[in-house]
Amino acid sequence: MPDSPLDVIACRQEQSRQLQSLFGSPIQMTAPCVFVYGHSATGKTLVLRSLLQKLTHIFVNCVECYSARLLFQRVLNELSGHVPSAANDFTSYSRCDNTNDFVRILKHLMQQKRLAGTLYLVLQKAERLRDMEANLLPALLRLQHLTGENVCVILESEIVWNKFWCGTGFQDPIIIHFPEYSKDELLEIMLSSSALDGEYSSELKESYCNLVISVFHTACRNLRELQHMAQLNFPKYVEPIVTGEVQEDDVRKLWRNVEPHLKRALQTVYLHEISSSQWERMQAEKSEEKAPPSALSSRVSMELPYYSKFLLIAAYLASYNPSKSDRRFFSKNAGRINKRTVMNVDKKSERTSSQMLGPKSFGLDRLMAIFYSIVEEKVAPSAYIFSQMTSLVNLGLMTRISVSDSLESPKFKCLVSLDMIRAVAKNVSFDVVRYLYDFVG
Amino acid sequence: MEEDFISSVQTLLRQRLCGKCHNQLRFRENEIKQLHDLVHRTATVGESNSLLVIGPRGSGKSTLLEGVLDDLTNEKDVTGNILVVRLNGLLQTDDKIALAEITRQLQLEAESEGKAFGSFAENLQFLLEALRSGSDRKSRSLVFVLDEFDLFAHHRNQTLLYNLFDVAQSAQAPICVIGLTVRMDVLELLEKRVKSRFSHRFIHLLPTYEFKEYLEIAQDVLTLPQDFASKKLVGDWNKSAQEFMQDSSVIDVLQQIFYLDKSIQHLYQLLMIPVCKLNAEHTKLLASDLYASFKILHKDDKAAMLQGVSILELTLVLAMKHLNEVYDGEPFNFEMVFSVYKKFTQRAALQSFQKAVVIKAFEHLCSLEIVRAAESSTSRTQREFRALRLMADSSQIMEAVKRYPACPNELKHWSTTPMLTL
């Protein structure tokens, strides 16, 4: 069917055709259940929406309707055209607490409305259905059988079907896969739907989109992210053209100009650490002062009181060093290293390195001992120090793990990363790596 | 004319494949007769019975039962003498809902309204009594159909089952209880007092048919009845359907399916896609469509999803695969994966990403459930150190690497060699 609206959707013709042939004409029976899956931003919803435009359909997002009851009420409200509003006290079409009521009311509604064609019930983010009542998913899959009406349930998910199996199993749906777009398809879609402003030739836009894809493609194939990135960095790309430094067709110069920006965007904007407007502001500031801010800085900088920093470092050392090694690092006659320890260091494999396995717990006594040995001046063990401990726990930098057993001294664990502890240690000019068992070895 | 005919053929076939028409099953004559006799006796003589129909998914339990009930209601001595109550374990999740549903189906809401019942048994007694209050004090027979029977056994104290079986056994009123289930061990689920009231009649619907009979079933569903349209059109269609069934590639595909899953439902699902493709230009079933349908239904979906991840994510998956091989499937954490990743990118001189970018890619893999936490997550451990397992098989990963569009040679090479030799 060349005149159908399907061919408008770029690069999804095959899937559209498959689905359309499954749906058939409205009066015909449709397969009881269809499972549509694929990575995010591969056009699943777009295709379904455009196919179902003229058919009776209900879209329900399972994140929004997180319980069976909400889901049922949503479907019934939509089908009956009932809108909860102030006039009806925001009540739903009818009370519906369980699957039994739902099937009964649905059947009743469909008969009452004399629907001519199939009713399509599209459940987006269907993987959430697994967390709801155990009977819900099997019941939805058999909805056609249970109601005896022409209902087709379409499940939409990013997760493969065999992760849905449970219990004694159920009727398998027809499974349609939406593959990820290839590089060429990405380019085609980005060009056709791009919101790149300004009067520039299509060749320029094409070479720009190609650039964005080539930089980001290895890390990310998500169309939506790529489009966002392209849009955000476009002004930077055309800046030399605007100022008149470079001709529009000088692709190489433009590339050299924009490449560092895109690379930096990959490290910050792509992670959504800063908002797009922040990024734009940063770009503007940067072009004035020419001093690139370290990408890491925002992630690891944190202002703490002076002793808290040492406490945190001590906690980190206690978490990542075996307690056996404390003598070696912190006792007076540390110069003498036992031969056997050296042998052990060689033998330690990746599997046992605590940098790999994560922090271990330590007692309060050990923490305080390490703390006193790394702090240079004398500190009295006052309540002041202990209250700083508590605030470190409250900040989520440390965690208390022992149970509320008052007989034992409390146990803690350090929750910060190596990068962060390095930054903190640098701040108080303490060489933390020299004290770490895994690095000294 | 031709066009109308094809679309009406499609409508009929779709109905059949969706299980809307209760065509009597072939090769099930004994079971049909047994079930028919049983229900017939309840309806005419007033005998009470209980029976379980056991068979795997898609073996035709519902079709068998509905077919028998359809037949029976058309028989003269049964019509008007039988009431069918259909319950489903998926819908009536507890006995209170079930009782309300029974009341509704028997249209006794008005009678039981405003009455307070002390127990479940009392309520059920009342319902049965109400049915009896006709002019001649003779009760109509009731047929209780319990679909997903095993789920009813999970109800508190199995009250519903106990009462139904009790009524059937003590012949208080003529009822016939028919349970449908997939569980072979369903009897073990019943409490002793419930089990002892059950008559221990079973019908096992096991797919015992051979491939030749399987082909006949497929042929049957595609064949049109003689009175469907003009003789010539029906004859033409039936002939083309027969040719379709005799095509060697069709038989090949069906043979493969038959070895995987003998169920009729699966066969119907396979035929659904070719049937859907019928239209004015496309008036015959084609072997190529069937093959395409087979491909769609039996796609390795995890490998397909793996093909859609980015290069970075694929590298991480390969790193995890190597970790699995080296440490014999022991759980790993993100730090280990990251260190393998770092070493690999250094040696292969590939573009290396910052840790935060890698974490984002890794989280994406987690949300796709290609990677899963080995134990229930505790909020106390940092996400980098949480023990994880890879949920994809190494053959699936190899397949994805092989099919991956423009996969870098270093990755391809790495997928076949041990962890850090390049």
Q: What is the ipTM of this complex?
A: 0.90
Band of pLDDT at residue A294, cut at 50, 70 and 90: very low
| Domain that residue A144 falls in | 5-178
Q: Are B375 and B392 contacting, i.e. CB atoms less than 8 angstroms apart?
A: no
Looking at CA atoms only, how far is residue A305 from chain B in angstroms?
A: 24
- Nearest 5°: the CA angle B309, B310, B316 is 85
Together in a domain, A59 and A86: yes
Closest-CA distance of chain B to residue A176, Å: 7
A75 touches chain B (CB under 8 A): no
pLDDT computed for residue A355 by the predictor: 79
pLDDT of res. B132: 67
Ranges under pLDDT 50 in chain B: 135-137, 422
Q: How far apart are the C-alpha atoms of B380 and A401, rounded to whole Å? A: 8
- pLDDT recorded at residue A3: 43
- Whether A300 is in a domain gets the answer no
Residues A315 and A353 grouped into a single domain: yes
Instruction: Kindly report the number of other CB atoms within 10 A of residue A391's CB atom.
Output: 14
A238 and A352 assigned to the same domain: no
Say how far apart CA B308 and CA B291 lie, in whole Å. Answer: 24
In a domain, A202, yes or no: yes
Amino acid letter, B102? I
In this complex, is the C-beta atom of B328 within 8 Å of any C-beta atom belonging to chain A?
A: no
Contact, B401 vs B318, CB < 8 A?
A: yes
Chain B nearest-CA residue for A142: B90
CA distance A236 to A246: 13
The pLDDT-based confidence of A267 (bands split at 50, 70, 90) is confident
Chosen domain end from A144, A163, A178: A178
Same domain membership, residue A269 and residue A400: no
Q: Predicted confidence band at A239 (pLDDT cuts at 50, 70, 90)?
A: confident
Q: Which of A98, A146, A356 sits opposite B93 (nearest CB)?
A: A98
List, as ranges, residues 189-248 from B with C-beta within 8 Å of A.
none
C-alpha B412/C-alpha A44 separation (Å) is 30
Architecture of domain B28-204: 3-Layer(aba) Sandwich (3.40)
Which residue type, as a one-letter code, is found at position B23? N
Classified as helix, coil or strand, B15 is helix
Are A235 and A372 found together in one domain? Answer: no
What's the one-letter identity of residue A24? G
Cβ of A224 under 8 Å from any chain B Cβ?
no
pLDDT category of residue A57 using cuts at 50, 70 and 90:
very high
Q: Strands, DSSP E only, in B162-316?
A: 175-181, 202-204
d(CA A78, CA A95): 14
Neighbours of B205 (CB within 10 A): 18
Query: Residue A121 in 3-state DSSP?
Result: strand
Assess whether A259 and A324 both reside in one domain: no
Neighbours of B110 (CB within 10 A): 9
Residues A33 and A138 in one domain: yes
Among A178, A197, A229, give the residue marking a domain's end.
A178
- Of the residues A103, A142, A160, the best mutation for testing chain B's interface (the one with the most B CB atoms within 10 Å of its CB) is A160
Burial of residue A309 (CB within 10 Å: 0-12, 13-18, 19+) is buried
All residues at 6 or more sequence positions from B275 whose CB lies less than 8 Å from its CB, including other chains: B10, B13, B14, B17, B285
CATH code given to domain B303-416: 1.10.10.10
Partners of B86 on chain A (C-beta within 8 Å) are none
Q: Note whether residue A39 is domain-resident.
A: yes
Which chain B residues are closer than 8 Å to A32 by Cβ? 18
Pair A75, A187 in one domain: no
Cβ contact, residue pair A159, B353, below 8 Å? no
Is the pLDDT score of A127 beyond 80?
A: yes
Distance CA A185, CA A182 (A): 5
Same domain for A274 and A336, yes or no, is: no
CB contact under 8 A, B301 and A161: yes
The chain-wide mean pLDDT, for chain A, equals 82
Q: Does A415 touch chain B (CB under 8 A)?
A: yes
Same domain assignment for residues A240 and A366: no
Based on the domain organization, do A273 and A395 belong to the same domain? no
Tokens representing B369?
A: 């459930």
| Triad B400, B347, B369: Cα angle to 5° | 35
pLDDT at A337 over 60: no
Give the minimum alpha-carbon distance from A332 to chain B in angstroms, rounded to a whole number.
34
Residue type, B123: N
Asked whether residue A334 is domain-assigned, the answer is yes
**pLDDT digits 0-9 by tens, B248-279:** 999 999 999 999 888 888 888 899 988 888 88
In the predicted model, what is the mean pLDDT of residues A409-437?
86
Domain range list for chain B: 28-204, 210-297, 303-416
Query: What is the chain A residue with the closest CA to B289?
Result: A18
Is the model's pLDDT at A278 over the cut of 60? yes
| Number of compact structural domains in chain A | 3
Residues A18 and A110 placed together within one structural domain of the fold? yes
Terminus-to-terminus CA distance in chain B, angstroms? Answer: 68
- pLDDT at residue B135 in the model: 47
| A301 falls within a domain | no
